[in-house]
Structures are given as structure tokens and as C-alpha cells.
Structure 1
Amino acid sequence: MKTILHKAATRGHANHGWLNSYHTFSFAGYHDPERMHFGALRVLNDDTVAKGMGFGKHPHDNMEIVSIPLSGDLHHNDSTGRDKIIRQGDVQIMSAGSGIAHSEMNANSDRDVKFLQVWVFPKEKNIAPRYEQKSFAHEDRKNSIATVVAPDDDSAVWINQDAWFSLADLSAGNEIGYTLHKNGNGIYVFVLEGDVTVNGQALNKRDGLGITGADTISIKADSEAQLLFIDVPMTIGG
């Protein structure tokens, strides 16, 4: 088993006024050759967008782009004609495929929106652009692991990759295990809130831990905690 630890304070950071963004992996003006990706996981951005502001329409291709609002509402519009509001509790995926342009704006005029934007390299290139969004009940992940993105689960949003995203909200002292979905995949654990110990490694808010060479991992909540699990192939392309 191998691990790679990314402490919250070591992330790249860009504050544009309207956008305050932390980058776990190299992105835009932040470049670290040691932090380009974790297997098929390419981008993990922790974004805060000021009220009424956002990303104007811009293009993507051949990337799986997952958005997870943490607070506030996000307004998505894209070149296929989709016009959606993504709220806390929702998970959205956009398979950029052969090419798509989209905008993401803060839908609120009175508060910031905080969300994660996660990019995963696709399994198949140049598929028809695809969009999906679902809501997930908070109680389904209370002291449990709830899958929200998957290639093989109709209750989750579909991804063009052998990748699974899961969320968990843990009470202090609770211990759970995570079993990887596919042989050869790695798991990236990102702490949204609180303090946890994963396979003996203490983690705090916004820390990330990548683990390879393990079939299962153990998690203990040292406080009330919220976690995101990203289970991805370690070979890009599937």
C-alpha cells in the first residue's frame, strides 16, 4: 500500500475577488509537477463564488466534470440548451465528450456559493456530450457511505469512467470501512469537514489522502466529519 498526503495548506490558491479557489492538483496559474493528477483524477477545486458572479461560457472536451455544491446554489447553462440550478444536496456531471461550452454562475444575489469541481479523465473519448443531475438525501450518508457517481448504479449519476464518488457524514467516534469497487483502482479521500483518521493517518478539514495498493481502507471520525471518496483507475484511460 502506498499513500500520498496533501495537507489543505499546501494546495494552490487563487483569489480573483469574485472567485476564491483552492487547487489540490495543478490548475490554471498553479503548477506543481508532483501534483498533476491522482490516476484518472485530474482536478479537485474547492471554489467560492461571490454573490451574482460566476464563470462565463467556456469550452471543454474529453473530460468528466463533476460539480458538488456545499452551500448555496449554482446556475448551469450549456451549449446543448440545458439551463439548471444545482443546489446543496445535488450532484451534477457533465461529460464534455466531443465538445461542449458551459457557464456556471452563483444563482444567489445575497450570498456566496461554495462548491467542489472535480475533473476525471474519461474512459472513452469523443462521446456525445452528456449531462445528468440528481439529488441525494442527507440521511442516506449519515454514518454510512452513499455512492453519488458511478458507471454501474442507476441511483447515482453516470460517469464515462470506471470511477465512483461517495459521500459520508460521520458522528464523532464512528468507524467505517470502504471497499474499492475495482481491482487496481486507487482511492482519494477528501475531508470536507472535521477530523478523521484514515488507515492510521490523521486528516483535518480539506486535507486529501491518496491510497493505492489497497482493497479496503478504514476510517475513524475523530469529530463530526464529512468526507468525499473518489475511487478511480490509476491508469489514465481506464
Structure 2
Amino acid sequence: MIQLRSANDRGHANFGWLNSYHSFSFGSYFDPQHMGFSHLRVINDDTVSPSAGFETHGHKDMEILSLVLQGTIAHKDSTGNIEELPAGEYQLMSAGKGIYHSEFNASDQETLKFLQIWIQPNRLGGEPGYQQKAFGEEEGLTNIITPDGESGTLAIKQDMRLHQLIMSEQTQLTWQADAKRRYYIHLIEGELSLADGINMKPGDGAKLQSISQIDFTKLSDKRVKALLFDLA
């Protein structure tokens, strides 16, 4: 079963300095039909004005992933990490027993665009953690996150994996799935088909359950970039 979630149906909040679209219930946006999917709790598509950002605030018992699409994030947290996260890089912060951090647009001229993703952990408490890495733009599916950080991936406190999908040259790609697991696809750019009549545009999401394979088909000359979440 594949259930499409249109970008136009997402929640929306505009604070002037921040323009954000919510795939799942978040902040003032509440939809009981979209409270998350498996352990995936938040996908916020954020646009931040130059020099603006999120003042210091706290998190606890949450795995927080950021992927910069345009610009650079200036990150600072209570464990002493002071980092810049440029476009294309992934940052995974494990809040553990508690962490405070701030995120700002590092530029006073360029707009910042990034995805903020929250995943509920399967282990509570513990020391906070910070990981950051670029995985490039290799054609096909690239492993980004695994439970044990295998083969240089980012390690997460959950039975889930994240894959980056890039289709520049390929027009079709088939991925073998486990019918006992659940999958979520978030399309970042391009146009993508998952099956007859199930076509995705940027910002769209898709929930997949009880399937044994996923057939990706690029629908235009534009490059496809997407995230594939493999969830328990």
C-alpha cells in the first residue's frame, strides 16, 4: 500500500524570518491523521531569512537530523559544539538526557533552506551526541544513517535506516524492500513515480507498507533527490 501526502496539504507557519512547511503535526499545526509515521515524528521544510534563526532552546530524548539544501547553518550547543553545516551535509544530534542548542543562518545575505527531521529513539536518557558528515551526490541510493553506524554512516538510537536517492542519469531504479517494515519517502527535487498514478513532486511524501519492492521512475529531465526512510 502506498499513501501519497501532497506538499500542498502540509501544515504551514510563516513568522516572517521563518517560513516552514510541516509534513506532520508540529507547533500550532495539528492533524490527528498526520502525527508521524512509525518512529518518524517531524519533517519540517524550513526557509530562514539572512542572519535570522532559532535562539537557544532545549530538547530531550529525540534524534534530530538536519539536511541543508541551500546556505549554511551556524550551530552551537551546550556540549561545546560550535559548527557550520553547509549545503549537502547531514547533521545528527542525539538529545539524550537533555541538550540546548541554537541554529542560525550563517549568512547576512543568502537565504537558508533546510530540512529538520525528528526521530523518536528506542533508548532514553544517556549523554547527548553530535555527528556531521557529507555523503556526496552519488547516483542511486546512498546509506546515510544506520543503527550501528556501519560503513561510515551516522549512528542513530533506533531500528531505522536512511538512504539518499539521487537519479541524474538513471531513469529507473528498483529497491528490494521488506514487507514487514514501513517506508517513507520525502521528495526534495525533481519528479518521481512510485507506481502507476502515484507521482511525486518536490515536498511530497509517501507512506509505504506491506510492499516487497519499490520501483522509482524519474518523470522529467530534472535530477531527482529524495530521502528514503526504512522504519520498523
TM-score > 0.5, shorter chain as reference: yes
Match for residue 44 of structure 2? Answer: 45
Which of 163, 168, 179 aligns to 1:166? It is 163
* Cα deviations by residue, 1:150-206 (Å, 9 ceiling, x for unpaired): 1232321111111111112213761112234x6632111111111110133111111
Would you say the 8 A contact 2:57–2:102 is kept in 1?
yes
| Deviation of 1:216 (Å) | 2.0
Taking the aligned partners of 1:82 and 1:231, their CA distance within structure 2 comes to 29
Q: Which residue of 2 aligns with 1:9?
A: 8
Q: Aligned runs of 1:152-231 on 2, under 5 Å?
A: 152=148, 153-171=150-168, 174-180=171-177, 184-200=180-196, 201-223=198-220, 224=222, 225-231=224-230
Question: Which runs of structure 2 are paired with 1:116-131 in the superposition (5 Å)?
Answer: 116-131=115-130
- 1:33 partner SS: coil
Quote how far apart the aligned CAs of 1:104 are: 0.6
In the superposition, relative to structure 1, how do residues 183 and 122 fare at CA in structure 2: closer, same or farther (>3 Å)?
Answer: farther
Other structure's SS at 1:76 match: strand
Query: What is the CA–CA distance in structure 2 between the aligned matches of 1:184 and 1:121, rounded to whole Å?
Result: 20
CA distance in 2, matches of 1:154, 1:57: 33
Identity of aligned residues (%): 37
The CA RMSD measured in Å over matched residues stands at 1.4
Q: Distance in 2 between matches of 1:173 and 1:126?
A: 43
1:23-102 paired onto structure 2 within 5 Å: 23-102=22-101
Q: Secondary structure at the match of 1:37?
A: coil
Aligned-partner SS, 1:109: coil
Kindly indicate whether the alpha-carbon contact (under 8 Å) linking 1:172 and 1:222 is maintained by their aligned counterparts in 2.
no
- Structure 1 window deviating more from structure 2 (84-93 vs 150-159): it is 150-159
TM-score computed with the length of structure 1 as normaliser? 0.92
Cα offsets for 1:3-54 (capped at 9, x unmatched) = 2211010000001010000000000010000000111000000000100000
Separation in 2, partners of 1:63, 1:189: 20
Q: Which amino acid aligns with 2:45?
A: D
4+ runs deviating over 2 angstroms:
182-185
**1:88 deviation in Å?**
1.1
Runs of 5+ consecutive residues of structure 1 not aligned to the other structure: 234-238
User: 1:215 and 1:122 mapped to 2: Cα distance?
Assistant: 26
Aligned counterpart, 1:236: none
Q: Which moved more, 1:171-180 or 1:94-103?
A: 171-180
Please, which runs of 5 or more residues in structure 2 have no aligned partner? none
Superposition TM-score, scaled by structure 2 size: 0.94
In 2, are the aligned partners of 1:62 and 1:97 still within 8 Å (CA)?
yes
